[in-house]
Amino acid sequence: MSTILLKDGGLKTEFLICKKNCERNCKEECLNEKKEIRLLETVTYHLPDQKTLVIQPGFVFDGASIPQICWTSIGHPLEHRFIYAALLHDALYVTQYLPRKTADQYFHRFLTEFAGVGSYTAWKMYTGVRLFGGGAWNSKTEEQITAAKELVSFPGESK
């Protein structure tokens, strides 16, 4: 199991999410040309509000939502420095456990404080999800939310 601390104390993790052709023991797998990734091991986030978010193996996500036209100025959606922030953000969006703004704020905070992303790049990414993330948030059906909550949870809290 891997643990990510999103609070004062820094990032601690037992594995690196790999690129598609890595030779290490990858903890995720690319599923298709849509850049979807299936998590192969449990990932745990300890959030600033003292909540713990657990994402189970089998959860599918697509990396950071970066339009292709912005890849040269921001980076590729599956870059290692973005992947944990994107996993957290995608899990919070699909489950809608927390308000959208809170999910976006955690995404920004994780990028700047723990992923080593520069403040300007993180600001551009945060602004992008604030301006354009509403469609993804609003498009979730009750079935999608319920299915995601089988793999994403705050232990000790009801689904």
SS3 53: strand
Domain that holds residue 138: 2-153
Per the domain annotation, does 142 fall within a domain? yes
Structure tokens at 2: 């891997």
Q: For all residues of the chain together, what is the average pLDDT?
A: 78
pLDDT (tens digit per residue) in 68-121: 787 788 777 677 778 889 999 999 999 999 999 999 999 999 899 888 899 999
Per the domain annotation, does 158 fall within a domain? no
Q: How many CB atoms are closer than 10 A to CB 46?
A: 16
Per the domain annotation, does 96 fall within a domain? yes
The full length of the chain comes to 159
Per the domain annotation, does 29 fall within a domain? yes
| Block residue for tokens 């089998």 | 58
Phi and psi at residue 14, to the nearest 5°: -95, -10
Gap between the Cα atoms of 3 and 48, Å rounded:
14
Question: For the chain, what is the domain count?
Answer: 1
CA distances from 12 to 1, 6, 64, 115 (A): 12, 9, 21, 11
Per the domain annotation, does 10 fall within a domain? yes
Gap between the Cα atoms of 72 and 76, Å rounded:
8
Q: pTM for the whole thing? A: 0.78
Per the domain annotation, does 159 fall within a domain? no
